[in-house]
C-alpha cells in the first residue's frame, strides 16, 4: 500500500537527502526546509507534486516529490522518489599560480615585490 502523504522529516531521511532522521528534523526546526515556499516543521506533510527546498549540512537541494515512501530504501530506489531541480554549481575558475623554476631558490627582493603587487591585485 502506498501512502498519500508522510512527515517531511521522515521523507527526507527515507530518500537519503538527510543522513539521519534527527538531522532532517533539526533542519526543519532551524528553518532550513521549505515545502512549496512555506517553512516546514518536522511534522509537516509532504505529498506527490510538492517542491521541497532543503539545506541539510552544507548541501542545498531543490526536489519535487514524485513518490511518497515511509521507510528508508536503497539509493537506487530513493532517487526514483523525487526529481532533482537543484541548479548546477557555478564553475570554479582556476586561479593562476605564480610558477617558479625548480631549483631557482628563494625569490629576490625585487621578485617578491612583484609577487606581492600581483597578489594584491587578485584581492
Q: What is the pLDDT of residues 66-90, one digit of tens each?
A: 999 989 999 999 999 999 999 988 8
Has residue 119 been placed in a domain? Answer: no
- Give the mean pLDDT of 113-123: 81
- Taken in order 62, 37, 7, 30, the sign of the CA dihedral is positive
Number of domains in the chain: 1
Has residue 108 been placed in a domain? Answer: no
Has residue 109 been placed in a domain? Answer: no
Has residue 55 been placed in a domain? Answer: yes
Has residue 91 been placed in a domain? Answer: no
Please spell the DSSP secondary structure of 17-34, one letter per residue. SSSSHHHHHHHHHTT-EE
Has residue 70 been placed in a domain? Answer: yes
pTM higher than the cut 0.75: no
CATH number of the domain residue 46 falls in: 3.10.290.10
Has residue 20 been placed in a domain? Answer: yes
- Give the mean pLDDT of 24-39: 95
Has residue 34 been placed in a domain? Answer: yes
- Taken in order 22, 28, 33, 35, the sign of the CA dihedral is positive
Domain hosting residue 76, numbered range: 6-84
Cβ atoms of residues 14 and 80 within 8 Å:
no
Look at residue 90 in the predicted model and tell me its pLDDT: 83
Higher pLDDT: 108 or 99? It is 108
Structure-block grid coordinates of residue 107: 625569490
Amino acid at each position: 500500500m502506498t501512502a498519500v502523504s508522510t512527515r517531511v522529516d521522515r521523507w527526507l531521511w527515507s530518500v537519503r537527502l538527510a543522513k539521519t532522521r534527527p538531522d532532517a528534523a533539526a533542519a526543519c526546526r532551524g528553518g532550513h526546509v521549505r515545502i512549496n515556499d512555506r517553512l516546514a516543521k518536522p511534522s509537516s506533510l509532504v505529498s506527490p507534486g510538492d517542491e521541497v527546498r532543503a539545506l541539510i549540512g552544507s548541501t542545498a537541494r531543490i526536489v519535487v516529490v514524485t513518490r511518497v515512501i515511509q521507510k528508508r530504501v536503497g539509493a537506487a530506489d530513493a532517487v526514483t522518489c523525487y526529481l532533482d531541480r537543484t541548479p548546477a554549481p557555478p564553475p570554479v575558475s582556476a586561479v593562476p599560480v605564480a610558477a617558479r623554476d625548480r631549483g631557482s631558490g628563494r625569490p629576490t627582493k625585487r621578485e617578491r615585490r612583484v609577487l606581492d603587487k600581483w597578489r594584491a591585485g587578485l584581492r
